């Protein structure tokens, strides 16, 4: 269970949000809404442990995330604004290295199958540099399919630059993750339907 208690975030002199509290339990998703610059990405980075928590606390299974360290990161999948792909490597190479870092071994055949499933079979062996923005995003999202052992998914604008069919496929992956007992914290500007899942939302930037 993920819990945020009265956290606050300031950037320069501007207070983006304060006294923000939420709980996220198994099989639940939390959508963070708000205008550009309202602190959505800052919140997600804070929950992922990339930024320090200025006030309040963030708890994972009743323990502070900073104290958990590697044990927390083992349960976490984070997909930020940047795709985390190397332009000079192919989609398969990128995924193989990204998964090896996360502690998941995956063979080339397995990765090609996963890429083909996302409609990327034809570009699996091209340098990522040659792919379109949406294709790059989809390559990065293939990681979701190998993250069944990570209960908490934090996704920053996962659907940006995606076409409708791809959005549908990713929605299905997220829903099956939730049904397995996972949790998802995400931001998006698109209308998404996580059919059959419990989705709550929190709005930022109303202060």
Partner 1 sequence: MGGSPGAACRAVTERDLLIAARRRSDVLTTFFFFVIVVSLFPLGVGPQPDTLRQIAPGVVWVAALLAAMLSLARMFGADYADGTLEQLVLTPQPLTLLVLAKILAHWLTTGLPLVLIAPLLGLQFDLPGNALATLLWSLLIGTPALSLIGAVGAALTLGVRGGGALTALLVLPLYVPVLVFGAGAVTASATGMGAAGHLSLLAAMSLAALVFAPWAAAMALRISLE
Q: Interface residues for partner 1 in 103-122 (CB under 8 A)?
A: 103-105
CA separation for the pair 40, 49 (Å, rounded): 14
Nearest Cα residue to 78 out of 155, 140, 171: 155
CA 72 to chain centre: 15
Only segment of 85-93, 162-170, 181-189, 196-204 that touches partner 1 (CB under 8 A): 85-93
Chain length of the chain: 207
Q: Which is nearer to partner 1, 130 or 165 (CB)?
A: 130
CB 58 within 8 A of CB 65: yes
**Binding of partner 1 by 54 (CB under 8 A):** no
The sheet with strand 152-156 has its strands ordered as: 76-79, 152-156, 183-187, 28-33, 198-203
Going from the C-alpha of 143 to that of each of 8, 137, 162, the distances in angstroms are 30, 11, 16
Read off the DSSP letter of residue 28: E
Nearest distance, CB of residue 43 and partner 1, angstroms: 14
Task: Candidates 56, 84, 119, 134: give the one binding partner 1 (CB under 8 A).
Answer: 84
Residues in contact with partner 1, shown as a per-residue x/- string from 153 to 192 under the rule CB under 8 A: ----------------------------------------
Q: Which is nearer to partner 1, 22 or 72 (CB)?
A: 72
Q: Interface residues for partner 1 in 11-50 (CB under 8 A)?
A: 48-50
Nearest distance, CB of residue 146 and partner 1, angstroms: 12
Could you list the residues that contact partner 1 (CB under 8 A)? 48-52, 70-71, 73-74, 76, 78, 80-89, 93, 96-98, 100-105, 127, 149
């Amino acid at each position: 269970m993920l819990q945020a208690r009265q956290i606050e975030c300031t950037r320069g002199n501007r207070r983006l949000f304060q006294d923000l509290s939420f709980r996220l339990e198994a099989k639940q998703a939390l959508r963070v809404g708000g205008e550009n610059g309202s602190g959505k990405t800052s919140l997600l980075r804070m929950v992922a442990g990339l930024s320090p928590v200025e006030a309040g606390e963030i708890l994972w299974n009743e323990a502070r995330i900073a104290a958990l360290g590697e044990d927390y990161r083992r349960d976490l999948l984070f997909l930020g604004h940047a795709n985390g792909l190397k332009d000079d490597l192919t989609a398969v190479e990128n995924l193989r290295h990204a998964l090896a870092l996360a502690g998941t071994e995956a063979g080339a055949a397995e990765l090609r199958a996963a890429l083909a499933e996302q409609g990327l079979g034809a570009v699996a062996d091209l340098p990522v540099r040659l792919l379109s923005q949406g294709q790059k995003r989809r390559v990065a999202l293939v990681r979701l399919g190998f993250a069944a052992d990570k209960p908490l998914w934090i996704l920053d604008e996962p659907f940006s630059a995606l076409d409708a069919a791809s959005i549908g496929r990713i929605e299905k992956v997220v829903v099956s993750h939730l049904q397995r007992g996972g949790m998802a914290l995400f931001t998006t500007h698109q209308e998404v339907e996580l059919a059959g899942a419990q989705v709550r939302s929190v709005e930022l930037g109303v202060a």
